């Protein structure tokens, strides 16, 4: 069996020498796995059954946001409130915390073999980030390696009785994040000792776009791959890119990967809709302000967060009225990293979602710890960075693109 720390070119952060064995505990043990440990479960408490029968689609995990925000006009401030205090038909209804299907709630089964099983996505994860060892990942340090080193490490890994490990896609990494945490994090019980600040991890997602004008990303002479940062020092998070020869961090996954992009567009009652055949979601085919079979009518509206919520809640489109503003994880499923700018799938080319504008697309999710900010995605790089698909937190009073969604488990 291949040791987790036979690292195939991974290096300790700040070190110039290769790790050849696991870091030694104070008692001299090298931190072998305890195969007899009982499984743990980190299911969140819920009054609902987490099983949804006969939902034939891939379920996007929830953002883990179970609270809402309210704007107090008397002192022009945002604050956290119980979602039950904001009722349908009133201002600011439709936030992420108002829509929490039981089947989407994070649920992890922790094995005693160094693995964590995600019971929503049916993916299994390496519990400790590459470089850490022990039952609670308490021994070691995060290790850096090139993309080929990370890819080789995961493909050669034998853990939990399986040898079909791989690097995760950016979608899989994004859907692990607890957006309600501050700073953003992943479940600390399921994934202990995970350093999150400015720790970019390699993904399996190749990036073939030119970003020579972005010196911080490094040269991309041969091939580049996307990276994911759970939390940056400035409070940012999300997707970056780097040359495969750069050194980043890693964590492996196994299981059938979700492959977003299986969309089918149609016109219903004169309105354009896009059906996601992977997730079962139905998207409004045009951003707010545009209409018609090809989104050729009207002009794009950039709405503040409150009006964006109201726009989707009040919307009647394609003969249905159960639309809502998508949460951040749902919005992530629209990113197409085979396109460069805008990063949208062909079925959304006419929607106005990319459009060459600097405006971010709003989600219903509030950035954890920052009730004044909404989590958003920019689908177009212009006019700032050549790297599109920027994820971040935008002030709720600023304007953003709005695309509505309906359906799900």
**pLDDT for residue 287 is more than 80:** yes
Q: Please list the alpha-helical segments (H only) found in 118-261.
A: 147-156, 170-174
Check if the beta carbon of residue 156 is closer than 8 Å to that of residue 9.
no
Q: Tell me, what's the pLDDT at 85?
A: 97
pLDDT tens track for 213-253: 444 444 555 678 888 887 655 555 678 788 888 899 999 99
The answer to whether 1-15+106-256 and 263-406 have equal CATH topology is: yes
Using pLDDT thresholds of 50, 70 and 90, give the confidence band for residue 79: very high
Query: What is the model's pLDDT at position 78?
Result: 96
398/358 Cα distance (integer angstroms): 12
For 120-166, strand residue ranges (E) read: 124-126, 132-133, 139-140, 143-144
Separate counts of helices (H) and strands (E) for the chain? 4, 23
Q: What is the pLDDT of residue 37?
A: 39
Evaluate if residue 385 carries a pLDDT over 70. no
What average pLDDT score do residues 112-127 get?
Answer: 96
Give every CB contact of residue 229 below 8 A, 6+ residues apart in sequence: 198, 199, 200, 201, 236, 237, 238, 240
Q: Most confidently modeled of 11-15, 33-37, 66-70, 256-260?
A: 66-70
- Among residues 404, 405, 402, 312, the alpha carbon closest in space to that of 359 is found at 402
What pLDDT is recorded for position 240?
79
Whole-angstrom Cα distance, residue 325 to residue 234?
Answer: 26
Residue 389: predicted pLDDT: 55
**358 pLDDT band (50/70/90 cuts)?**
low
Share of the chain above pLDDT 90, in %: 57
Among 288, 284, 314, 285, smallest CA distance to 301 is for: 288
The CATH-assigned architecture of domain 263-406 is Roll (3.10)
**Residue 398: is it exposed, middle or buried by C-beta count within 10 angstroms (0-12/13-18/19+)?**
middle
Q: How far apart are CA 284 and CA 350, in angstroms?
A: 12
**Cβ(14)–Cβ(82) under 8 Å?**
no
Asked whether residue 357 carries a pLDDT value surpassing 80, the answer given is: no
**Which pLDDT value is given to residue 45?**
43
DSSP secondary structure letter of residue 327 = P
Give the pTM. Answer: 0.84
Give mean pLDDT, residues 309-336: 96
pLDDT at 398 over 50: yes
Sheet with 405-406, strands from edge to edge, namely 263-268, 271-276, 282-284, 405-406
CATH architecture of the domain with range 1-15+106-256: Roll (3.10)
For the chain, domain boundaries: 1-15+106-256, 263-406
- Is pLDDT larger for residue 50 or for residue 122? 122
Mean pLDDT across the chain? 82
Confidence of residue 48 (pLDDT cuts 50, 70, 90): very low
**pLDDT recorded at residue 182:** 78
- List the structure tokens of 197: 């600040």
């Amino acid at each position: 069996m291949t040791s987790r720390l036979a690292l195939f070119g991974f290096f300790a952060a700040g070190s110039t020498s290769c790790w050849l064995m696991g870091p030694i505990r104070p008692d001299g043990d090298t931190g072998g796995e305890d195969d007899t440990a009982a499984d743990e479960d980190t299911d969140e408490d819920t009054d609902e059954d987490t099983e949804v029968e006969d939902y034939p689609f891939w379920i996007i995990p929830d953002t883990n946001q179970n609270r809402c925000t309210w704007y107090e006009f008397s002192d022009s401030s945002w604050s956290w409130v119980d979602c039950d205090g904001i009722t349908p038909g009133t201002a600011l209804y439709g936030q992420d915390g108002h829509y929490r299907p039981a089947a989407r709630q994070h649920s992890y089964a922790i094995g005693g073999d160094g693995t964590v099983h995600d019971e929503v996505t049916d993916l299994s994860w390496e519990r400790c980030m590459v470089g850490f060892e022990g039952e609670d990942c308490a021994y070691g340090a995060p290790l850096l390696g090139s993309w080929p080193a990370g890819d080789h490490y995961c493909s050669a890994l034998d853990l939990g009785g399986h040898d079909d490990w791989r690097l995760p896609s950016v979608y899989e990494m994004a859907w692990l994040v607890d957006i309600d945490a501050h700073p953003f994090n992943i479940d600390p019980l399921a994934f202990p000792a995970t350093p999150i600040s400015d720790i970019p991890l390699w993904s399996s997602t190749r990036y073939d776009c030119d970003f020579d004008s972005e010196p911080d990303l490094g040269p991309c002479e041969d091939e580049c791959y996307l990276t994911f940062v759970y939390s940056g020092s400035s409070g940012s998070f999300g997707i970056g890119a780097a040359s495969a020869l750069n050194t980043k961090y890693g964590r492996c996954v196994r299981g059938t990967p979700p492959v977003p992009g299986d969309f089918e567009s149609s016109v219903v009652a004169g309105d354009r809709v896009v059906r996601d055949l992977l997730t079962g979601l139905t998207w409004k085919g045009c951003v707010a302000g545009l209409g018609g079979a090809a989104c050729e009518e009207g002009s794009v509206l950039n709405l503040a967060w409150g009006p964006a919520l109201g726009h989707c809640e009040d919307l009647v489109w394609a003969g249905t009225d159960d639309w809502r503003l998508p949460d951040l994880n749902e919005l992530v499923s629209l990113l197409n990293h085979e396109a460069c700018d805008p990063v949208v799938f062909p079925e959304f080319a006419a929607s106005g979602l990319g459009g060459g504008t600097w405006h971010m697309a709003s989600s219903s999710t509030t950035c954890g710890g920052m009730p004044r900010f909404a989590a958003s995605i920019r689908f177009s790089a212009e006019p700032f960075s050549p790297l599109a698909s920027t994820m971040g937190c935008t002030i709720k009073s600023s304007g953003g693109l709005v695309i509505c969604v309906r359906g799900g488990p």
